[in-house]
């Protein structure tokens, strides 16, 4: 590959591991990697471990990531191992390391699907989120700048959405590794980091940095195109909890939650329309 060719992915595979590409750079610091890339790499490791074990057709029903140390823009490794395996589940742990030091970890539970239970159970009333109008979207398979809606209607103009309204986003996932196709699980695991964008983005910008990601799914998304819509945001004494619905073109598939710390000294101000790299 020509070194001048733009590499549309978070990482490139090398003999030493995974080398972060320019798109993986965080807006918080130039030498820091954003959580979308880190989460996607963890999901890839988990998915490969499940495939290597010969367990196909499972749903990644629970996925939790701890982002406890800033990942730098340097060569990275990722690995996963099975903790417990049964007929209906596989439980795994994964880590991302840099220079022999763990910078993030994940746990996941993959479940076997079966027939739906016949009983009736309460579900939240009200309208469910839907993708933006087709006229605003490129053809399936084409990558695009994330689209947001808030107190302003759907658009890719980030400055329009720096407000205190309810935020939602629709995105096409970027491949984790250059030259590889982004799987539905890798897509939803990486885009789940954008829960912070829809729950922590207010009229002064993004003033919280998330420390973890929790994703719960009843099924995989139908493609690598999916959305997040804020359902709640609560905060006290510099700690915030944000929850979002996860949805694809056919409806809701689960929820994503992030806990965050106030980071007002490094607020990401998007009022000028600066594109957040972590959600590109």
Beta carbons within 10 angstroms of residue 251's beta carbon: 12
Which whole number is the average pLDDT over 44-57? 96
**Window from 144-148, 193-197, 244-248, 255-259 with minimum mean pLDDT:** 144-148
Q: Which residues have C-beta within 8 Å of that of residue 197, sequence separation ≥ 6? A: 148, 167, 169, 206, 228, 276, 278, 279
Sign of the Cα torsion 162, 164, 170, 175 reads positive
Lookup result for tokens 């701890």: 66
Per-residue pLDDT, 140: 73
Q: Confirm if 93 and 106 have CB atoms less than 8 A apart.
A: yes
Per-residue pLDDT, 124: 86
Give the distance from CA 61 to its chain's centroid. 15
Per-residue pLDDT, 275: 54
What's 30's DSSP letter?
Answer: T
Lookup result for tokens 């003033």: 207
What residue ranges in 21-88 does DSSP mark as E strands? 58-66, 77-85
Cβ burial, residue 5 (10 Å; 0-12/13-18/19+): exposed
Per-residue pLDDT, 181: 94
Structure tokens at 42: 């963890």
Nearest CA to 256 among 65, 92, 120?
65
Cα 189 from Cα 187, distance rounded (Å): 6
3-state secondary structure of 14: strand
Per-residue pLDDT, 142: 73
Structure tokens at 252: 């809701």
Q: Is the pLDDT of residue 241 over 50?
A: yes
Cα 197 from Cα 194, distance rounded (Å): 5
Sign of the Cα torsion 194, 221, 46, 216 reads positive
The pLDDT tens digits of the residues spanning 122-143 come to 998 889 999 999 888 877 767 7
Q: Which residues have C-beta within 8 Å of that of residue 6, sequence separation ≥ 6? A: none
How many helices and strands, by DSSP H and E, does the chain display? 3, 15
Give the distance from CA 81 to its chain's centroid. 21
Structure tokens at 265: 């000294």
């Amino acid at each position: 590959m020509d070194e001048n060719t733009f590499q549309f992915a978070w990482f490139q595979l090398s003999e030493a591991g995974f080398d972060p590409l320019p798109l993986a750079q965080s807006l918080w610091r130039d030498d820091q990697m954003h959580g979308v890339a880190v989460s996607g790499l963890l999901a890839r490791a988990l998915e490969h471990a499940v495939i290597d074990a010969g367990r196909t057709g499972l749903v990644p029903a629970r996925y939790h990531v701890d982002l406890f140390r800033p990942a730098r823009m340097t060569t990275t490794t990722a690995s996963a191992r099975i903790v417990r395996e049964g007929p209906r589940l596989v439980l795994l742990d994964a880590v991302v390391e840099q220079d022999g030091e763990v910078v993030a970890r994940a746990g996941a539970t993959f479940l076997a699907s079966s027939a739906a239970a016949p009983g009736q159970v309460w579900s939240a009333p009200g309208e469910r989120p839907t993708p933006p109008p087709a006229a605003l979207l490129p053809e399936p398979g084409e990558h695009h700048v994330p689209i947001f809606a808030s107190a302003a209607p759907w658009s890719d103009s980030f400055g329009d959405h720096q407000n205190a309204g309810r935020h939602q986003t629709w995105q096409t996932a970027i491949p984790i590794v250059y030259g590889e196709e982004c799987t539905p699980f890798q897509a939803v695991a990486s885009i789940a980091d954008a829960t912070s964008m829809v729950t922590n983005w207010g009229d002064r910008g993004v003033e919280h940095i998330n420390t973890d990601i929790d994703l719960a799914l009843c099924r995989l998304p139908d493609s690598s195109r999916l959305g997040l819509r804020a359902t709640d945001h609560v905060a006290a004494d510099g700690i915030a909890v944000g929850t979002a619905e996860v949805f694809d073109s056919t409806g809701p598939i689960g929820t994503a939650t992030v806990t965050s710390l106030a980071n007002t000294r490094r607020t990401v101000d998007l009022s000028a329309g600066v594109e957040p790299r972590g959600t590109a």
